[in-house]
């Protein structure tokens, strides 16, 4: 079944810049049954572990985080690029290949009782997911783990993430 899903991820060479093979998830999103199956499997790995909030990373993480949160009976927390969230935010900066970037989350979104699942579409180097994890911990909540549709395993991003990591489709 995951072979069918893998066939719906389109490789786009040299996007957004030369040398990157971009994993385009939009063909999978277009296929109602494949999208439903992907969400169901991603959420299914985390049932019964008491996830109270799903933290979804801008922007493609929102596409999976929303339906996964509904399936798990959890609330949804968007983590966004700076300046997008309207209320008071907490912030974390993280290193990119060149320079730094930052992520923000509403300060009142999580509490010390929360068990959080962090969701994104693709795990590459793990820097973004690690930063989202740091943001969650800054707010006193517990990171239960990370869920991705696609893992670029050759980049070994999961090594940077201390907690449980699940990915539906893996590229060696």
Binding segment (CB under 6 A) for ligand AMP, from list 32-40, 71-79, 82-90, 114-122: 114-122
93 is catalytic: no
Nearer to ligand AMP, 60 or 80 (CB): 60
Q: Is 138 in the site for ligand AMP (CB under 6 A)?
A: no
Sign of CA dihedral 136, 151, 2, 12: positive
Q: How far is the CB of 169 from ligand AMP (least distance, A)?
A: 12
Q: Which of 123, 136, 165, 169 binds ligand AMP (CB under 6 A)?
A: 123
SS3 of 104-147: EEECCCCCCCCEEEEEEEEECCCHHHHHHHHHHHHCCCEEEEEE
Q: Is 9 in the site for ligand AMP (CB under 6 A)?
A: no
Q: Is 125 in the site for ligand AMP (CB under 6 A)?
A: yes
Sign of CA dihedral 9, 27, 82, 166: negative
Q: Which of 75, 127, 142, 164 binds ligand AMP (CB under 6 A)?
A: 127
- Interaction residues for ligand AMP, span 26-85 (CB under 6 A): 57, 60
60 is catalytic: yes
Q: Is 147 in the site for ligand AMP (CB under 6 A)?
A: no
Q: Is 22 in the site for ligand AMP (CB under 6 A)?
A: yes
Q: How far apart are CA 31 and CA 67, in angstroms?
A: 15
Which residue in 3, 17, 60, 71 is the catalytic one?
60
Q: Which of 67, 78, 145, 157 binds ligand AMP (CB under 6 A)?
A: 157
Question: Which CB contacts under 8 angstroms, 24+ apart, belong to 16-25?
Answer: 23/121, 23/122, 23/150, 23/152, 23/171, 25/60, 25/63, 25/121, 25/122, 25/149, 25/150
Place of tokens 């991003």: 157
Which positions are catalytic? 60, 97
């Amino acid at each position: 079944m995951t072979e069918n899903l893998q066939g719906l991820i389109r490789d786009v060479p040299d996007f957004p810049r030369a040398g990157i093979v971009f994993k385009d998830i939009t063909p999978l999103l277009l296929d109602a049954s494949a999208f439903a199956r992907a969400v169901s499997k991603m959420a299914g790995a985390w049932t019964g572990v008491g996830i109270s909030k799903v933290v979804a990373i801008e922007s493609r993480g929102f596409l999976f985080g929303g339906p996964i949160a509904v399936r798990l009976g959890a609330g949804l927390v968007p983590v966004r690029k700076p300046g997008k969230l309207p209320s008071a935010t907490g912030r974390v900066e993280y290193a990119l290949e060149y320079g730094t970037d930052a992520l923000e989350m509403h300060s009142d979104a999580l509490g010390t009782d929360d068990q959080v699942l962090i969701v994104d579409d693709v795990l590459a180097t793990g820097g973004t997911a690690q930063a989202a994890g740091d943001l969650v911990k800054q707010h006193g909540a517990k990171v239960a783990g990370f869920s991705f549709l696609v893992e670029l395993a050759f980049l070994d991003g999961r090594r940077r993430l201390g907690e449980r990591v699940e990915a539906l489709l893996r590229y060696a």
